[in-house]
Structures are given as structure tokens and as C-alpha cells.
Chains A and B, each alone.
Chain A
Amino acid sequence: MGQVNRRKVLLGGLAAVTATAASAALPSWANARTTAAAPPIRDPFQLGIASGDPLPDSVVLWTRLAPSPLNPDGLGGMPDATYAVDWEIANDEAFSSIVQRGSANAVSASGHSVHIEPTGLQPAREYFYRFKSSGYVSPVGRTRTAPAAGAAVNQLKYCFSSCQHWEEGYYHAYKGIVADDPDLVLFLGDYIYEKKSGRTAQERNPRSLAFTEDVTTLAQYRARHAQHKTDADLQAAHAIAPWIVVFDDHEVMNNWNGTTAPATAARKAAGFQAFYENTPIRSTAKPNGASIQLYRQLMWGNLARFHMLDTRQYRSAQVPDPSGDAGPACADMRSTSRSILGATEEAWLLKQFESHPATWDFLGQQVFFATRDSDGNKATCESNDSWQGYEASRNRIQQGWVDRKVANPVVLTGDVHRHWAADLRLDYFNHSSPVIGSELVTTSVTSNSDNASPPDAAWNANNPHVKYCKGERGYVRVTTTPSQTRADFMTTSDTSVYDPASVVIKNDRSYVIQAGKPGLQQV
């Protein structure tokens, strides 16, 4: 209960600060000449604050100045000038005990975003942070550093989410995540959508985009990110814990790399830049044109290791999926010359598997990992966009962790807009092939699964390694200890209904995985 009370107080305090800043600083523009180098602005903290990529001695602190966040020019109402952004890290939310402070410049070329990377923080510690700029004080965020390298850790609680199409619902999932008060949040892709909702049931969409064009330019990507960032529940979830974020395809374009019509370099560069500007990710991931170093590893003492993967940027071209019943060509899907990670990232991941500094290895990534085969016939293929479409690549990773004696691998997945839980096998067509790990797939925050029907008995018989599927909105809550990992599949009430008082968050299904004993056990 203490945790919950503290959290509620924190968020209540944030609201008070913001309201005060806004009302006390009403400018009198009629009396202001604004030809100065940095013209006066209104409260620029309309996109909230965030922290991310925690290390034992550091965590990224993020904000982006945008007093008019929905402006279609993507500049958020910021004049073309440099603004100083002061930051503070404190031991307490009242900021009576300041640990570090500093100042950074927010410049137009970076969309007036700042990424602070303090060093010298204490491991396994809760900190509070805030920003000040142009006389305004940001909301207060709470963050946490990772435990020291090798430190014994009793428990880690984290949540993971994905796929939050703006139009298709309200972000109830983040109400649940805030209530869960996790140490960490993982986001596994589709933070924004580059295009309008394509769902048939348009009448179920409670929100509309401020501009409806498909985004292709940096200005548009910035404006689209900004609209997503105006969501109060998303802001609150960022303010409660550090996030570890990866993108999937919609941060650039549907299936942007791997189809026969990939995104242009200019479009990728624009998408990556806006992604960087809007996420609490380290400067090691600052894009270089149409290239970005997204994949990385993060440690949580001796308890957990996160391999955050990039299955989009380096993948071989997707195998065409012709209309009709034929399906994509299995010979191509299984070609050993193809990879979903690319040779460099595959080698990096396999190299990570050679050491075993933590009990649990979580592979945080985008697309479905286990095979899902409708007809049970190995001669036909499906799901060309997933790891199934890059079967040899997946075999190398799976065999890689088996050969390197990775004891407790768990794959974390987004993308598919439904909860799934599955065990992993070296051969998915041999139903007695030993279980070598598990996969936890989070449903979407909002993106719809209107046309998806639940697996039927025949499907389940062909896929006995798949334990669970739920086509509702939500997220997954994970509690990891040295002896077990527990996954709670959380669902939300109807995301088309705004009324906060009516939101219900439910634990639909739970599984545990025992350390040293692969396989999901339903709780």
C-alpha cells in the first residue's frame, strides 16, 4: 500500500505543478516584442517527461519542448531559437535533496528535445527528476537505476506494451501500468502509426488524428509523435518508471524494410529522427541518416538480461505472400541465406549468449517468434512478416542459446494485437520436441484485432506449444525472481469509452516459468 499511496501523491503533485505554471504565466503578447534570440513561449512541457535505458550509474532523462504540440509544422510552437533546459535529479519528490543538476540546450534541429545522460548515480535507486525552461517547471518524473553489475536481486517487476494507434482507442492500458507501479516498462514497437486507422469498424474509433495524411516528412513524423504524446495516461506511465523502447514498422511505414517496396532512405531518416527525438533512448541510438543503432543489451543485476532487438532494419526482403491459398514459398521462407536480424546483429546476439551473468535472458523484440501453422502441414507456409518467415535465422538463434547453455530464455513480443503465450521448440512440427524456452506476446494498447477469430480446436491441435490467445486490449505484467518468472496477461475494458471512472483492468490469465525448467505453467 505504501507504494500505491506514494505513487498517487506523486501524480497528484504533478497536476498541481502543471496547472500553476500554466495559470501564473499567462503572457501578455500585446506588449511583447519577440525579435529576441529566444522569444518568450508558453508552458513548453506539453509532451510530458520520460526516463529510459537505466544503467547502474545512469538513466536517460528526456523531454521535448512543445507549447503547441499539434501544430502541423512539427515544431510544437517553438520559435527557431535555442532554449536552455535546466534539469535536476533528487532523492525525494519535493527536491529537497538534489543529487545532480545541469543545463542543456534544446535546439530546433533536434525538435527541441533533450536527452540528459547523467553519470555517477547510485545503483538500484529510485530518483526523481524534473526540468525547467523559460521559467516553467515540468511535471516530476520518478525513475530508477539498474542494480550494480552482478548484484543479487530478489525481484524485478516490469510491464510491456505495444501498438497504440491513436484513433483506435484510449490508452487504458497505461492506467493499469501506472497502478502496477513497475520498476521498468518495455515498449516493443508501433509507438505511433504513420497512417490513419484502416479498420472496417471505423465507428469504434473514439479519436481522430489532427492531420490525416500518411506521414512521410520529418515535420509530419514530429507532429504525429507529438499527438500521441499528448495522451495523459501515456505521460503518466512515462513519469512513473524508466522505459526501454524499440520501434517496429509503423514508426516509419507499414513493413518498411523487407517488402518489395521499402521506405526510401529519406523517409527512414525522418522516421528515425522523430523516434529518437521522442523517446528516452541513449545518444548511442542517435540516428545517422537512414541508419540507427537500436539493438542493445541492458542488465538487471544477476537476475535479468534484456536483449533489445531490431528485427526491421537489417532483415532480408520479405518473401512475397501471393493472394489465394498457396502462401509464401517455403523454400524461400527457410532459406539459410536469409536473416531477420542481419548477420551483424545475429552474431552480436549469439555472442551475448556465451556468457551467463543473469538468471533470465529476455529477448525484447517486435514480431512473433514461435511458429503458428494453421494446417499442421510442413509443406505449406504462412506469416512471412514474422520470425517464421525467416526460419533459418530463428533456428540459428534458438540452437544458439541451446548450444551456449542459456538456461532461461524468454522471448517478449508485440506487433500482433492479441495476447499470446507459447512454448518454444527446435521443431514446431514435432510435438514431442523438447521445450527450450517460452514466448510472451503482449496485445496492443489500442490497435484493433476486429477481424481476428480465436484459434479453434483444429488449430490448437496443430499448435500444442501455443497455450493462450486473447483478442482484447491490454499489456503484460512480469514479475521475475531468482526462482520463477510470472507473466500476468492484463486486459482492459473497452478502449473506445473514455470515462476514466468506468475503466476496468483485469488479469485475464497468468503463467509462471520455473528457473531451470523451461515451459509455461498456467497459474
Chain B
Amino acid sequence: MATRVGLGFSQNYNTRLAAQEAAEQAKKYLQSDRVDLAIVFSTTHYAPQEVIPVIFDIMNRTRIIGASTPSIILPTQIATRGVAVMAIISDQIRFESGCVPYLKLQDKTEAGRKLVRSTLSEFGQKQRQLFLCIADGLLDGLSDLINGMKEELRYNIPLILVGSSDDFRFQKTFQYYKDTAMPDGAASLVLGGRMQIGASMQHGFKPIGKPRTVDKVDGPLILSINGRKAGTLYEQYFGKEAETLKKGPTSPLSFRYPLGVKLPGSNQYILRNVLGVLDGGALICQDKVPKGAEVNIMIGNQSSYLEAAAEAARDVRAQLTLKKPSFVLIFESIARCRLLGRSATEELSAIRDIFGDGVPMMGMFCLNQFFRFSQDPSPNPWIVQNGNVIIIGVL
């Protein structure tokens, strides 16, 4: 037996039945009572505290990792309601999971270290290929969490972090670990063993207008750009429309025209959605922006977003030496959900075309993303980003 993957999905209105149907469907594909790992995504219509224990029992109390999401990405559809389970058994891939609850109350850097320690303690010294973390996307300071993980991991193991999301209310998200659904926590997964992994992150935005320099920052706040109040940047381009930024992250300016932070010595930009504007004119970002960084307003269109996803998928396929992966995980920024609109399914079919039919695929929409891959020629700084699509292929 190499690697066997089962995918289950249910839209039953009864929460427990939905969990049961999805889990049993996924397990049926495995044709085995043993389950090594279950990845669970559920939309906010289902109480996660009821969903996870049911799945945990059906999956023979194995490792579970997952999160709440506004929509679930499946091989043939993007479901706005449902529970999805990906169950995996493998003699070649080794898995271990871990978690850190109550992140708000903790020093994030230390919490990052703790998360890595708890996950790797069981995994041992086997060849580690990927460290994946799903954290509460509404938390400030996720970059600190990343830095904590980086310190504890010590060497160059690929690290991916995604921030879970709710149904665009930006109020509460859940992370799943074993039989628990935690708000305000982080769940992690380490993969290793005799396996090949490919991963890529793209966004499809391009800079527009004059580049500017960030003068003053205070944590996730940008106070001044080019000697002027940071908020005036959007006013200069959008006039009165910039006032919608005061409504918060639901403003179309926030996800359609994010700030692009230029990476030193590179033509690449990392994205920062502006979550709001303070009365004093400071721009609120999801996470810190380095002082002195060159920033631009970014712009894209559906074709560039779609091309970015296709590019990421091609990149992964190339890393897997064009072999068909055992399964694919997709983590999309929730901004892209809005940006792509009806074209979201086109993106899905483009990805499917690249990997080929029959490859089990599952994914979620997330608030923020971090991606650091060893093969990355121009490493990203150790801070979270927005607006990206991350595709992971495991062979």
C-alpha cells in the first residue's frame, strides 16, 4: 500500500449527521479501519464543537487538523455550506500533529516555539518535509508566531501558515485538533518520510502608481508614508471612496487594492490588506510592515488572479517532477473568493486540469498566509501576507 486518500463531503442540515456522513464517506474510500490523518474543513453553518468529536470517533481517534472556513474547495465545486473530510493512510508518509490553545493570552513568539516542540516531540528525528500551521486568522501578531516557529525549527524546513476565517464577519474562527475545536488557537501538522512535496504561493497583483516609502510604523499600524499621513495614500487615488476603508475589512478597497510591499533586491511584492483607517490617518494592517519599505497600491484582474493560481499549480507539478500527486491541498485568501466571484470555479478547473482528473483535492479560504519553501529563490520575509493562493501537492 502506498498512500490512499478518501474524500467525504456532506451538506446535511443536521450538524452531527453532516459530520458523520462526510467522515464515513471519506473512510469508505480508504477500505481500511486504520486512518493516519484526517483533515477537516467545515463552514460556519455547522457548530464545530459538535462536528469534530463525531469525526474523531469515526476516524478511530486519529490525528485531526482543520479549520472553519466560509467555503470549502472540493475537486468539482466550491461549496458555500458543508463539512468536508480528507482521510489519509500511508506507509510512506509520516504525520504528526500538535496545537497551542488560547493564543491571545500568550506571547506569540513563545507560542510558536511551543507549537513546534509539541508537534515534533512525537515525530522524532525522521526526515521532516513540511510544517503546516493553521492559526486563528483574526489574531494580531501572527508574524511573531511564525518567528517563534522559525527559531524552534532551526533549520530550513518548509513552513506554511494560514489564518482561518469565518463567514466574512471577522468575529470568530475555529481551529481543529484531534477532538477539539478551538477558537483563538493554532493547530499544526508535520509531514515527513519517503515522500515528495511541492508547494507554491502566488497572488497575481501588479503595482500601480508611484512607489512610496513607509516612514513611521507602530506594530500593525502604518502611520506615515512619504512624510504624509498613511491614510491619504488611498484618498489620493480613490477620493471619497477611500472613506469606505473606515468600515473595516469588508471595504472593496481593502481586498481589491491591497498595499504591495516590495521585497529588497527582488521584483516581488508581498500583499497587505488594509483593514481600516484610524481617525488619525493611520492605516491598520493585518500584520507589521517593515519601516523604510517601498510600498505601492496593487491592482489585478480576474485573468491575472486565475493565471496566478495556474502558475502555482504548474510550479507544484514541476516540483513533483510532473508526477500525479497523491493529494492536493489548496489554501486561498478569502479576498480571492470575492475577487474571482463567479470565476472561482474556473480557477478550480484550471488547477484540476494541471494535476489531472481523479487527484483528491480539498481546500479552504483563509484570512492570511505565510509561505517559506526551501526551493524559493528569493525568500520571503518572516511575516504573514494576504491575497494569495497556496497550493501543496504531496506525492
Physical interaction between A and B: no
